[in-house]
Amino acid sequence: MRKDLHRLRQGQLSQKQIAASVELRKRRSRARLDLDLSLPEQLPLSAHAAEISDLLVKHAVIIIAGETGSGKTTQIPKLCLQLGLGEGGLIGHTQPRRLAARTVSQRIAQEVGCELGRQVGYAIRFSDQVGDDSLIKVMTDGILLTEIRRDRFLDQYDVIIIDEAHERSLNIDFLLGYLKRLLVKRRDLKVIVTSATIDVDRFSKFFDNAPVVEVGGRTYPVQTNYVEASGDIIGDVGDALEVIEGSKSNASLQARDVLIFFSGEREIFEAAKTLRQRFSERFQILPLYARLSFAEQRKIFEPSSSKRRVILATNVAETSITVPNIGFVIDPGFARINRYSYRSKLQRLPIEPVSQASANQRKGRCGRVAPGVCFRLYDEVDFLSRPEFTDPEIRRVNLASVVLQMQAFKLGDINTFPFIDPPEPAAVKDAMLLLLELQALSGTKLTAHGQAMARMPIDPRLARMLIEAHKQGAVSEITILVSALAVQDPRERPMNKRQLADQAHATFSHSRSDFITLLNLWSWIEEQRQTLTRNRMQRALAKRFINPQRVREWREVHRQLRLICKDLGYTDTPKAASYQAIHECILAGSLSLVATHDERGSYLGARGLKLRIFPGSNLSQTTAKWIVAGEIAETSRVYARNVAQVKPAWIEQHSMRI
C-alpha cells in the first residue's frame, strides 16, 4: 500500500510490518484477478475503453462527458482495475447522494461477481461496508472530504473518480479544488471527473487542459411533447398518464414504466394519494426519494408486476440512480433549490424552474432500452428561456462550514483557494461574521472553540451549542438535541392525517420549549427500544407517526457525537440540566435566531425580520415575549422552527460575549 511505502522510506516500518504490507498487496492482486472485468458491448462507453485507458496511463486527470446510459458510472472503475490500479491503493468513487453510493456499489459488485463488502464496498454516513480486500470504494463526496483530515495526501487511494460533477455541490467543488492542489504533490494519483451534462471546456481548463472523452448515451430516440400546463400539476400528470396508457407505445413491454419528477417528498405524498385513487386498478404507484427506507427503495429495482409501474421521484432519479425499464418521463419542470440569503440571513427552499441541463437529464431517463417519450408540462419557449446550467451550490449556501473546515485543514484563505467558481466576497464576509459570532474565529484564526467545532461533522451553530453544553453541564441533553437538529425531524405529519399525527405527538409536548419536547420524544423512544421487540417497536413508532429510518439516523448521529465529545473530554454530569442551562446552550449557537413578539401577533427577529412560529410547534398558539429558534427558514412564508421561550437576560448575557 502507498502509505506503507511512504513509511518504509522514512524508516518507520518494522520487518513484520513490511511483510504484512507485501502480503496484503499480493492478496489484493489475487482478489483483482478473481473478478469479471469485462465491459458489456452494448454500453457506449465500451467503444471508448481503449482510448480512456490510454489517456489514463498518460495523464493525471481525464474528463469523461458521458450521456445518460453511457455506462460511465459502473464501467470506469472496472477499466481502472484492468490497468492494475486498485492494488496499491483503493479506487475511490464518489457519488453526491447516499442512495446512489449504495446502489452503484451493489451494481458494480454484481457485474464483477463478488459479494458486496469484499472487493467492492461502499461508505456512507451511517454505514461502512469496506474491508482490507476492497479494491473499489464507492462513497459520498462528504465521506471523502472527512477523510482529508486524517489522510491529507489521500495515500489510501490510487484513483479518485468524481462522478456527477455537473451537480456542482459544495462538496464537489471543494474536492476538485483540493485535488488540483494535491496533484502537485501526488504525481502518482489519477483523477477522473465524470458527468452527464458537464461543462467540458471549463472542467478541462480548470485541470490545465486535461484531455476530454465524450461518450454517447441513449441508443434510442426520445420524443419530446410539450404540454400546456393548467396550473394543477397533479391533474396534468394524471392527464399525461391517460395519454400514455392509450398510446401505441404501450406495445413496448421492454420499457413501459413511467418516471415522474416532483420537487419534494411532500409533493410526492400528495400526488401518490391522488393518483392511487384515480389509477389504482391500472398502475402500481411507487415513491422514490433519498430518505425512503431501504426495503421500499428495493421495490424500484425489482421486476415489474403485472401492472405498469409509475415512479414518483425527486431529483435523486435525475442522475444519481438509474430506474430500470423507463419508457416515459413526465417532467413538471420544477425542483426545490436550497438558497441562502446573506442579506436577510435566511435559508430559503424555493420551488424553481429547473435548468435546461436538468430538464435534459430528466428526459434522458427514458429511451435507454427502447424508444421513449418525455412529456414536459411547460412550453418550448419556457424551456429555451431557462438558464443552461443550475447555479453551483457555492453561490447558493452559507459558507460558514467551508471557512471553518478550510481553517482546520490549514488550506489558507478561502479567497485564494482554487474553486472553479469563487464565492462572492459578500458571502465570505457573512460566513466570517457568523463564525465570529460563534466565537470560532479570532480575527482570521481559529480559536480553541473553533478547533473543537471543526472536529464535529455538523453545522457550526450546532457545534457551538455542544461546546456551551460542556460549560453548562448539559452535555447529555444537548447531544440529543443537536443530533435531532442535524437530521430530518422523525415526526411525520401526513397531509391527510395531520390532526391524528398532532394528537399522537402531543404526548411528548412541552408548553414552553420544542427542545424539551424532543428530549421527551428521545426518552420515550429509548424506553420502547429497551422493552419491545423490533417488530413491536416498528408498530409503536408507526402508531405515533414516528419515522423509523429517521430515528435510526438520529441515534447514529448521537452515537458519533458522543464519541467526539468523549475525545474532547466533554463528560456527562449526574444531575439533569435545568431549563435555563439547556436553553443557554441553544442561545450560544442561535443568538441571531432570537425574536420578540410584537403587537400585531407576529414576531420580530434580527434585522427587522418578520416571522411566525411554524404551525407544527407547540408554541404556535402562544404569545411568548421572547423566543429562540433552531432554524428560521422561508418556504411559503418566513417560519421559526423548533422554538422555545427564553428570558431577555439570557440573551443579553450571551450577546456580551461576542
What is the C-alpha to C-alpha distance for residues 555 and 233, in angstroms, rounded to an integer? 37
Residue 219 burial (C-beta neighbours within 10 Å; 0-12, 13-18, 19+): middle
Domain 2-215 homologous superfamily, CATH: P-loop containing nucleotide triphosphate hydrolases (3.40.50.300)
Predicted local distance difference test score (pLDDT) of residue 507: 92
CB 118 within 8 A of CB 34: no
CB 35 within 8 A of CB 184: no
Q: Radius of gyration (Cα) for the chain, nearest Å?
A: 26
Predicted local distance difference test score (pLDDT) of residue 13: 61
CB 548 within 8 A of CB 293: yes
Predicted local distance difference test score (pLDDT) of residue 580: 96
Predicted local distance difference test score (pLDDT) of residue 251: 42
Predicted local distance difference test score (pLDDT) of residue 305: 64
What is the C-alpha to C-alpha distance for residues 615 and 612, in angstroms, rounded to an integer? 9
What is the C-alpha to C-alpha distance for residues 503 and 159, in angstroms, rounded to an integer? 53
Residue 36: name the closest of 86, 111, 104 by CA. 111
Tell me 512's DSSP state: S
Q: Is 610 left (phi over 0), alpha (psi -120 to 50) or beta?
A: beta
Residues facing residue 212 across a β-bridge: 63
CB 165 within 8 A of CB 198: yes
Residue 120: name the closest of 104, 107, 134, 131 by CA. 134
Predicted local distance difference test score (pLDDT) of residue 11: 54
What is the C-alpha to C-alpha distance for residues 257 and 309, in angstroms, rounded to an integer? 5
What is the C-alpha to C-alpha distance for residues 309 and 303, in angstroms, rounded to an integer? 10
What dihedral angle (degrees, nearest 10) is formed by the CA atoms of 228, 234, 237, 243?
A: -90
Strands 610-613 and 603-605, sheet pairing:
antiparallel
pTM: 0.79
Q: Same topology for domains 2-215 and 222-393, yes or no? A: yes
- Quick one: cell of 444? 482570521
What is the C-alpha to C-alpha distance for residues 630 and 459, in angstroms, rounded to an integer? 11
What is the C-alpha to C-alpha distance for residues 328 and 161, in angstroms, rounded to an integer? 31
- Quick one: cell of 19? 511483510
CB 71 within 8 A of CB 43: yes
What is the C-alpha to C-alpha distance for residues 576 and 460, in angstroms, rounded to an integer? 25
Q: Is 173 left (phi over 0), alpha (psi -120 to 50) or beta?
A: alpha
Residue 79: name the closest of 69, 68, 65, 91 by CA. 91
- Quick one: cell of 625? 415575549
CB 15 within 8 A of CB 5: no
Tell me 256's DSSP state: -
Count of alpha carbons within 13 angstroms of residue 383, beta-carbon side: 20
Average pLDDT, 10 consecutive residues per value, the chain (658 residues): 53 66 80 89 90 96 85 93 92 90 93 93 87 92 88 94 89 93 94 81 93 81 91 92 76 74 87 90 86 70 78 79 85 89 72 90 84 94 92 88 86 87 89 92 90 90 95 96 91 80 91 96 95 91 89 90 92 91 95 87 86 87 90 85 94 78
Predicted local distance difference test score (pLDDT) of residue 633: 84
CB 183 within 8 A of CB 189: yes
Residues facing residue 335 across a β-bridge: 352
Structural domain boundaries in the chain: 2-215, 222-393
Residue 329: name the closest of 381, 258, 265 by CA. 258
Tell me 117's DSSP state: T
Count CB-CB contacts under 10 A for residue 271: 21
All residues at 6 or more sequence positions from 484 whose CB lies less than 8 Å from its CB, including other chains = 490, 518, 522, 554
What is the C-alpha to C-alpha distance for residues 84 and 106, in angstroms, rounded to an integer? 22
Residue 408: name the closest of 439, 433, 445, 460 by CA. 445
CATH topology of domain 222-393: Rossmann fold (3.40.50)
Q: How far is CA 375 from the centre of its chain?
A: 28
CB 649 within 8 A of CB 656: no
Q: Is 412 left (phi over 0), alpha (psi -120 to 50) or beta?
A: left
What is the C-alpha to C-alpha distance for residues 409 and 454, in angstroms, rounded to an integer? 9
